[in-house]
């Protein structure tokens, strides 16, 4: 089983007055797991459905290994899909669900059952073959759905938020298993998600979409450390915008002078982008900062600190420090000594588009 190269070229799709895809260009390398990440309505699911054949783009084309499949009917495409909602056929047991595609292709029953059993073992459910979907838990159903999608040995695997209906613990184990399986099979996989933690932890590369256009596509570490646009910076993780003064290769922020990395805006006044985990907070009776809110997350705690000039900054501190950094504590704030990104001056403040993960790759 080998992965195919998938290319989206200038994909456009509009539903009435809303534009779902606005000239999307993206190439997925063979064997790669790419995550399409973005807020709802950004077009990520539409892109996936164009590849599956459930949606026709108004313009542009979808290529698999160089062949244009834009007009190929959905049932003749070489892509297995796992859906967001539970999609197992309620009238068939797990084994027959997995064997459905083989049955369509008229594979003899004995071979079909053997192969279905093999796949159920692959997804870690060797004993549920005779059970019906309503007898399976949500996580088991999605595993069976994954086995079903892999049954025909497709060269592309499409995952449309397959974990969003599951509870947190199952979600984490299942995503690790999907990744393990994907790596061992070497199948090109496109994973649609609105959960940045999922995207960053699973994908080889993450494509951030916004309003039907590609904002940035990069490996998770680059995406997190070097967001190409303010939107990406704010959508992936939380980001502090702190006022700073540029001078040459250096920027002065909160009384510290740090080297600048990447492009720098023209004027001397700039926003310095700092992740919450790069903000150090120390209790200090003389300090001019004050902890306003503290939310404990186990391994870390996220603090909202009000500075002397009224600006607020988010800081992640180790969980065991949260007791001595309770709201109301006077603190001193410092930044980790490392190169920082700066952007043109906007409104000062803290931005976190979505609930962000505690620790990211």
Closest to 154 in 3D by CA, of 117, 110, 195, 105: 105
Mapped onto helix, strand or coil, the DSSP state of residue 49 is helix
Q: Is 95 exposed, middle or buried (0-12, 13-18, 19+ CB in 10 A)?
A: buried
Candidates 23-31, 113-121, 143-151, 245-253; binding stretch for another protein (CB under 8 A): 143-151
Candidates 70-78, 172-180, 184-192, 276-284; binding stretch for another protein (CB under 8 A): 70-78
Please say which residue, 100 or 191, places its beta carbon nearer to another protein: 100
Q: Candidates 44, 95, 148, 194: give the one binding another protein (CB under 8 A).
A: 148
What one-character DSSP code corresponds to residue 353?
A: S
Residue 291's contacts (CB-CB under 8 Å, 6 or more residues apart) are: 281, 303, 304, 305, 325, 326, 327, 328, 329, 331
Residue 196 in the binding site for another protein (CB under 8 A): no
Residue 359 in the binding site for another protein (CB under 8 A): no
Q: At closest approach, how far in Å is the CB of 11 from another protein?
A: 19
Residue with tokens 């099979």: 185
Q: How far apart are CA 323 and CA 321, in angstroms?
A: 6
CA end-to-end span of the chain, whole Å?
Answer: 29
List residues bridging with 315 in a β-sheet.
Answer: 303
Please say which residue, 87 or 300, places its beta carbon nearer to another protein: 87
**Count of residues that bind another protein according to CB under 8 A:** 30
Closest to 255 in 3D by CA, of 294, 288, 304: 288
Please say which residue, 130 or 267, places its beta carbon nearer to another protein: 130
Q: How far apart are CA 340 and CA 325, in angstroms?
A: 26
Q: How far apart are CA 221 and CA 16, in angstroms?
A: 37
Closest to 337 in 3D by CA, of 264, 251, 232, 262: 251
Residue 108 in the binding site for another protein (CB under 8 A): no
Closest to 95 in 3D by CA, of 124, 123, 130, 121: 130
Please say which residue, 90 or 298, places its beta carbon nearer to another protein: 90
Q: At closest approach, how far in Å is the CB of 76 from another protein?
A: 7
Candidates 18-26, 67-75, 190-198, 240-248; binding stretch for another protein (CB under 8 A): 67-75
Candidates 30-38, 148-156, 240-248, 326-334; binding stretch for another protein (CB under 8 A): 148-156
Q: How far apart are CA 21 and CA 115, in angstroms?
A: 38
Q: Candidates 1, 67, 104, 114: give the one binding another protein (CB under 8 A).
A: 104
Q: Candidates 17, 71, 76, 127: give the one binding another protein (CB under 8 A).
A: 76
Please say which residue, 45 or 216, places its beta carbon nearer to another protein: 45
Please say which residue, 11 or 79, places its beta carbon nearer to another protein: 79
Please say which residue, 71 or 134, places its beta carbon nearer to another protein: 134
Please say which residue, 154 or 276, places its beta carbon nearer to another protein: 154
Q: At closest approach, how far in Å is the CB of 132 from another protein?
A: 5
Q: How far apart are CA 260 and CA 273, in angstroms?
A: 10
- Residues in contact with another protein, shown as a per-residue x/- string from 25 to 54 under the rule CB under 8 A: ---------------------------xxx
Q: Which pair of tokens denotes residue 7?
A: 């290319």
- Residues in contact with another protein, shown as a per-residue x/- string from 84 to 103 under the rule CB under 8 A: -xxxxxxx--------xx--
Kindly tell me the sign of the dihedral angle through the C-alpha atoms of 282, 257, 269, 340. Answer: negative
Q: How far apart are CA 84 and CA 49, in angstroms?
A: 12
Contact residues for another protein, defined by CB under 8 A: 52-54, 73-77, 79-81, 83, 85-91, 100-101, 104-105, 132, 134, 145, 148-149, 151-152
């Amino acid at each position: 089983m080998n992965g195919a190269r998938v290319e989206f070229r200038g994909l456009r799709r509009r539903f009435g007055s809303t534009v779902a895809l606005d000239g999307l260009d993206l190439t997925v390398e063979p064997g790669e797991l790419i995550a399409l990440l973005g807020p709802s309505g950004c077009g990520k699911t539409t892109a996936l459905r164009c590849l599956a054949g459930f949606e026709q783009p108004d313009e542009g084309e979808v290529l698999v290994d160089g062949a244009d499949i834009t007009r190929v009917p959905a049932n003749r495409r070489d892509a297995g899909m796992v859906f967001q909602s539970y999609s197992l056929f309620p009238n068939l047991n797990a084994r027959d669900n997995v064997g459905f595609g083989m049955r369509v292709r008229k594979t003899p029953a004995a071979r079909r059952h053997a192969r279905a059993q093999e796949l159920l073992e692959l997804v870690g459910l060797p004993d549920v073959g005779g059970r019906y979907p309503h007898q399976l838990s949500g996580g088991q159903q999605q595993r069976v759905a994954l086995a079903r999608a892999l049954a025909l040995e497709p060269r592309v695997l499409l995952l449309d938020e397959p974990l969003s209906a599951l509870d947190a613990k199952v979600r984490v184990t299942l995503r690790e298993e999907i990744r393990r399986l994907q790596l061992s099979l070497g199948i090109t996989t496109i994973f649609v998600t609105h959960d940045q933690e999922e995207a960053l932890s699973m994908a080889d590369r993450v494509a951030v979409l916004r309003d039907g256009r590609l904002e940035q596509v990069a490996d998770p570490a680059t995406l997190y450390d070097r967001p190409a646009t303010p939107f990406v910076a704010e959508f992936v993780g939380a980001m502090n915008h702190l006022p700073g003064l540029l001078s040459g290769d250096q920027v002065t922020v909160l009384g510290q002078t740090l080297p600048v990395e990447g492009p720098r805006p023209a004027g001397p006044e700039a926003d310095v982008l700092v992740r919450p985990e790069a903000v150090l907070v120390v209790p200090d009776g003389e300090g001019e900062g004050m902890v306003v809110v503290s939310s404990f997350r186990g391994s870390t705690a996220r603090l909202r600190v009000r500075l002397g000039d009224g600006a607020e900054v988010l800081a992640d501190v180790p969980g065991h420090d949260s007791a001595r950094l309770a709201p109301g504590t006077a603190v001193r704030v410092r930044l980790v000594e490392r190169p920082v990104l700066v952007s043109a001056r906007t409104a000062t403040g803290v931005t976190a588009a979505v609930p962000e993960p505690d620790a990211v790759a």
